[in-house]
Amino acid sequence: MNEYNKKGYLLQGFRVFRLKDAALQEIPFHYHDFHKIILFLGGEASYIIEGRTYPLKPRDILFVSAGEIHRPVTVPGKSYERIVIYVSPDFLAKCGQGKCDLAQCFHAAREASSVMHAPPGKSHDLLFHMDKLETVAHQQGYGNELYTELLFMEFMILLNRAILDNELELSSVSCDRKIQQILAYINSHLTDDLSIDTLAETAYLSKFYMMRKFKADTGFSIHQYINSKRLLLAKSLLATTDIPITELCYQCGFTDYSAFSREFKKSFRTTPTAFRNSST
């Protein structure tokens, strides 16, 4: 797996920051093991998420779930301004534990659209709350860490309410239907034998055309894509089950434990055993 496929590490529950670029260098396709929410403020850009291309307009909210392959596409000389939140899936689960699923917005985005538009004048002014969260996150003072966490949870609650109340509009998207069919098949059969021949037959495509088109649309080879998704599945199972690690390796679709352990450490900077021990 190319070392640039996975980007960034999140060492806290969440992180929020504002960025504005006028000459952003091309960012390759990549993924994170944390969720990402982006509020597009202005400029000219589009975003590719799992082979789907979304042209952006101000007040668009982007949802990038952990493990989703993505990259922004900017225009030379044009600005690209946004507020970004990185959030740990584990932290999000703990925040809503026993109360509500604060990750519901990511589930909804995967089902409907990864980009939603927040029109002005609705009951939940998400731009105001996200801007306030970003401002407070970089202040100091009495109780600021706790205050920032409370504002984060308030924002996530209002964001989920806005989706449940149908206050966000789905954005336009362009994609290749056949490649989306292959992506859906892979993600629902991660633990199966996903051979190139099987995938080509599923979409009724020439395997050579399929491999070229998959790479063009996602930036990953089919093997890289499957490997990254299986590693994330293994990481989740290591944290939430007591399945023996060797057995878990094979259950996630890997056929060689040594290769699995090596790839896991390369991707997550720790061994499967050490990660499980730190999760208990």
Res 3 pLDDT > 50? no
Phi, psi of 61 (to 5 degrees): -115, 125
In angstroms, what CA-CA distances link 203 with 28, 51, 179, 213, 259?
A: 26, 15, 8, 12, 29
- Is the Cα torsion angle 42, 72, 106, 90 positive or negative in sign? negative
**With bands split at pLDDT 50, 70 and 90, how would you rate the model's confidence at 122?**
confident
pLDDT digits (tens, 9 = 90+) for 127-173: 999 999 999 999 998 999 999 999 999 999 999 999 999 999 999 99
How much of the chain exceeds pLDDT 70, in percent?
94
Tokens 């306030």 sit on residue? 132
CB 129 within 8 A of CB 154: yes
Q: What mean pLDDT is reported for the chain? A: 90
- Is the Cα torsion angle 147, 17, 83, 103 positive or negative in sign? negative
Within 13 Å of residue 86, how many CA atoms lie on the same side as its CB? 15
Q: Average pLDDT, stretch 255-260?
A: 93
Res 256 pLDDT > 70? yes
Res 95 pLDDT > 60? yes
**Strand pairing partners for 170?**
116
Nearest-angstrom CA–CA distance, 219 and 225: 9
Please give the structure tokens belonging to residue 202. 């599923």
**H-helix or E-strand containing 109?**
helix 104-111
pLDDT digits (tens, 9 = 90+) for 96-106: 776 789 999 99
Looking at residue 75, its pLDDT comes to 87
Domains of the chain: 14-170 (2.60.120.280), 176-278 (1.10.10.60)
Res 6 pLDDT > 80? no
**With bands split at pLDDT 50, 70 and 90, how would you rate the model's confidence at 123?**
low
Looking at residue 199, its pLDDT comes to 95
Residue with more model confidence, 85 or 4: 85
In angstroms, what CA-CA distances link 207 with 168, 201, 212?
A: 39, 8, 9
Res 225 pLDDT > 90? yes
Nearest to 122, CA basis, from 166, 184, 78, 68: 166
Nearest-angstrom CA–CA distance, 10 and 16: 11
Nearest to 28, CA basis, from 250, 224, 204: 224
The distance in angstroms from the start CA to the end CA of the chain is 28
Nearest-angstrom CA–CA distance, 259 and 74: 37
* Residue 247: count of CB within 10 angstroms of its CB: 10
